[in-house]
Amino acid sequence: MPPAIILSTLNARYIHASLGLRYLLANLDRHGGAGLRQRAVLREFTIARPVAEIAAAILAELGEPVAGQPQIVGLGVYIWNVGTTTELVRQLKAARPTLSIILGGPEVSHEWQDQEIVRLADHLITGWGDVSFAKLCRALLDGPPPLMKVIPGEQPPLDDIALPYAEFTDDDLAHRVLYVEASRGCPFKCEFCLSALDKTAWAFDQTRFLAALDTLHQRGARHFKFVDRTFNLKIDSSLAILQFFLDRLTPDLFLHFEVIPDHLPERLKAMIARFPPGVLQLEIGVQTFNPEVQQTISRRQDNVSTCANLAWLADHSPAHLHVDLIFGLPGETLESFAQGFDRLYALHPHEIQLGVLKRLRGTPIARHSAAHGMIYDPEPPYTVQQTAVVDAATVQRFTRLARYWDLLANSGRFKASLSLLLDASSPFAAFLAFSDWLWLATAQTHRLTPEILVDRLFDYLTTVIGHDREAVRQTLLADYQTSGARANPVCLQGLLKDREKPVPRSAKALAQRQALHGSVIR
């Protein structure tokens, strides 16, 4: 029998498994009534797949429409898929007007009044959908029909929400990142983040949550990405979760946490230090070191404690550090950002993720648009185009730099060579100069293979900076061999014997990327 409900979304990549849809699936019987779950299926796609194929797959699974038997498609809408999902809704409604399409997700939960996708769909649930989606499905299938198109999502106590982890399939466990959450919400008010709208953070019952994790672990799950905005907000909870994984430590275990940079008490340090290398990845949002900018965007951050904690993590912990900075915040100049970058670089994190500010729908950052001359792209992902202190050309210049930084520094392929490039009073200024030169030399930010980068870096280090050609060649050779690349850059001709054809990266690319960094970015 065809399903009555298809839950779907368009993920950025196959490896991502939607946590939100699995919450909706798990709560159908709990909040929509017995029997609803067995009438539903979960079908995920990627944004790379043609929309016509996705629409055809959904319609084929629904089968031919039957009079008096409503069918529902629920779609998760995010900043990265809203354009493609809009076209999907258009095609589904054109092919089957009687189909009930329900939207939800952060991209349609705020400022939805003028969105084309909302106009095309039948219903929209804003905010939390765990309870409201199930109730809406029951009303659409069995009546009475809902009177409203836009339904504010009901936010129940977390104990009233069924956990979604049993909805991960064995294939998910074997091949995909498993997203989990010990809590929801955030007590902080950083205005570029949707979590600024939360009044506080809410924690799931720890016993219930750890029991669900234990079941996942027994089924073979080893790769857990926590989506909590503030994993180390409550240290007792953080310690209990870390101890849970220490008790189940295996060589293939991988854990990702997002942590507050200025809150790392000694007992948490001691627990982190007990893990072997390669298990823990910490995403640390520094965003800006500029106190005036921090105050403008309502970000509370002790910069002294942040630096001390990052230095300890880099020098004394086994954790892989992925630290974020945002360019384009109101009042942040290129010069003040450079100072913050240099301050962070000196602390030696493994990766520095350079992002450009995006004005997410509903975020309070919009209140600064007039005063700080903030102009954003009207299309997703709503990236800032210029500010009162950063012109459009500088934003474009930085965007190129961020791309090149990811290719050279964050990839871990050029560890020793990068030290030659950044051996300056301002590492940011040194890399910006290289970025400008590389753009003029290649006119591209994509399709830059490791071999192209090796040759261009050789040219820059020897002809622009003036380093000894043979010393640079030997440094690049060591980096290239360590990276595992199998081609033959021009500047290394004669030094690489018996080169084979390039081999594809393995499924363990993340672990390999971490391994390439060794200890830290220097």
Asked if residue 183 belongs to a domain, the reply is yes
Domain C-terminal end among 127, 158, 189: 158
DSSP states of 469-493 as a string?
Answer: HHHHHHHHHHHHHHHT--S--GGGT
pLDDT at 304: 98
DSSP states of 354-394 as a string?
Answer: EEE-B--TT-GGGGGTTTTT-EE-SSTT-BEEE-SSS-HHH
Shared domain for 195 and 96, answered yes or no, is no
Asked if residue 406 belongs to a domain, the reply is no
**CATH number, position 195:** 3.80.30.20
Number of domains in the chain: 3
pLDDT at 372: 98
Domain C-terminal end among 133, 158, 183: 158
Domain C-terminal end among 123, 158, 193: 158
Asked if residue 397 belongs to a domain, the reply is no
Shared domain for 444 and 351, answered yes or no, is no
pLDDT at 499: 58
Domain range for residue 92?
A: 5-158
Helix and strand totals (H; E) in the chain? 19, 16
In the numeric block, the tokens 């905010």 are attached to 127
CA distances 409 to 18, 345, 422, 520, 522, Å, are 30, 11, 11, 11, 10
Shared domain for 205 and 329, answered yes or no, is yes
CA distances 431 to 338, 344, 437, 451, 492, Å, are 10, 14, 10, 19, 23
Asked if residue 405 belongs to a domain, the reply is no
Rounded-to-integer distance, Cα 455 and Cα 451, Å: 6
CA neighbor of 513 nearest in space, from 230, 521, 4, 291:
521
Asked if residue 399 belongs to a domain, the reply is no
User: Do residues 293 and 316 touch, judged by C-beta distance below 8 A?
Assistant: no
pLDDT at 119: 98
Shared domain for 372 and 452, answered yes or no, is no
Rounded-to-integer distance, Cα 93 and Cα 46, Å: 20
pTM equals 0.92
Shared domain for 217 and 338, answered yes or no, is yes
pLDDT at 503: 43
Question: Residue 417 is encoded by which pair of tokens?
Answer: 């060579």
**CATH number, position 30:** 3.40.50.2300
Asked if residue 163 belongs to a domain, the reply is no
Shared domain for 377 and 453, answered yes or no, is no
Asked if residue 352 belongs to a domain, the reply is yes
Shared domain for 306 and 270, answered yes or no, is yes
Shared domain for 146 and 180, answered yes or no, is no
Asked if residue 403 belongs to a domain, the reply is no
CA distances 104 to 45, 61, 162, 513, Å, are 16, 21, 18, 35
Shared domain for 464 and 493, answered yes or no, is yes
Shared domain for 227 and 311, answered yes or no, is yes
Shared domain for 326 and 183, answered yes or no, is yes
Residue segments in the chain with a per-residue pLDDT below the cut of 50? 500-507, 522
Shared domain for 333 and 439, answered yes or no, is no
User: Do residues 186 and 201 touch, judged by C-beta distance below 8 A?
Assistant: yes
